Amino acid sequence: MPLRFNRAMLMEIKGETMTATYKCPKCNMAVNASCANCNEPLVNDTLDVNGTQVQISKCPKCQGKIKSPMCCGQDMTCSV
């Protein structure tokens, strides 16, 4: 049976880091984002600020958080 590898496995074998890609749904501008401390791709999350949900990007390893990138006046969406 042949071995099967997904993209993350191949990148780990090659010593590369997979980054999260945030893309603007309006103009298709894209930004890659990873944690500078952990080298982990950031993940989408939300934070409750006085009853309002704010979209953030967070590191799954160290739990650091930043406001998600914005473009064209709206939050960019993320895929890894």
Asked, for residue 2, whether it belongs to a domain, the answer is no
- What pLDDT, on the 0 to 100 scale, is given for residue 12? 47
Asked, for residue 23, whether it belongs to a domain, the answer is yes
Asked, for residue 1, whether it belongs to a domain, the answer is no
Q: Is the pTM of this model over 0.75?
A: no
- What pLDDT, on the 0 to 100 scale, is given for residue 7? 46
Asked, for residue 5, whether it belongs to a domain, the answer is no
Q: What are phi and psi of 67, to 5 degrees?
A: -65, 135
Q: Which domain holds residue 61?
A: 10-79
Mean pLDDT by runs of 10 across the 80 residues of the chain is: 46 53 88 87 87 88 88 78
**Residue pair 64/58 in contact by the 8 Å Cβ criterion:** yes
Asked, for residue 3, whether it belongs to a domain, the answer is no
**Residue pair 64/22 in contact by the 8 Å Cβ criterion:** no
Domain total of the chain: 1
Asked, for residue 66, whether it belongs to a domain, the answer is yes
